[in-house]
Amino acid sequence: MAVIINIDTIGKKEIGYLSFFEMLKDFPYEIKRIYYIHHAPEGMIRGFHAHKKLKQILFCPYGEIELVLDNGFCEEKILLDSPSKAIIINEPTWREIKWMTKDSVLCVAASDYYDEEDYIRNYKDFKEYINRSS
Ligand code: TYD
């Protein structure tokens, strides 16, 4: 469902680490938007939506965030617990995103500009959308 990738990381503990990924190579889409969610309290759950067309790469450079992903057929739980771990979502996927530790940061690079029309914010509508398009 979601593709888990390893973000290239260089460095050592004495000087710190640098992680990087490149558009069209590691993330096979053009990046038109970057956003991040920060200063959320521990236990917070956000998301509760899917996107019709948008492709995204999600990573957590600080802290620990759990993703519960559902593509309409099966559910998958992924823990973003390393700055070198990312997931690519490239199909309509219902997501629930939980802050396992306070102040964890969720970064997202997305293939398109913000468009509320691309959101499905109701789970029943999501299931209908998936059934219609499969
Ligand atoms: P949303 O994508 O629903 O995030 P979450 O599921 O984590 O709550 O976005 C929250 C609000 O922010 C919503 O009102 C839409 C707005 N928003 C923008 O204006 N631009 C953006 O790029 C994003 C991602 C959200």
Separation of alpha carbons 95 and 19, rounded Å: 25
- State whether the beta carbon of 127 lies less than 6 angstroms from ligand 1: no
pLDDT, tens digit only, all 134 positions of the chain: 899 999 999 999 999 999 999 999 999 999 999 999 999 999 999 999 999 999 999 999 999 999 999 999 999 999 999 999 999 999 999 999 999 999 999 999 999 999 999 999 999 999 999 999 97
Q: How confident is the model at residue 102, as a pLDDT?
A: 97
Tell me whether residue 51 is one of the annotated catalytic residues: no
Q: Per-residue DSSP letters for 19-86?
A: EE--BTTTB-S---EEEEE-SPPTT-EEEEEEESS--EEEEEEES-EEEEEE-SS-EEEEEE-STTEE
Q: How confident is the model at residue 1, as a pLDDT?
A: 81
**The token pair that represents 33 in the structure block:** 């938007």
- State whether the beta carbon of 114 lies less than 6 angstroms from ligand 1: yes
Report CA(70)–ligand 1 centroid distance (Å): 19
- State whether the beta carbon of 36 lies less than 6 angstroms from ligand 1: no
Three-point CA angle 1, 72, 110, nearest 5°: 55
Give nearest CA residue, ligand 1 atom 10.
Answer: 47
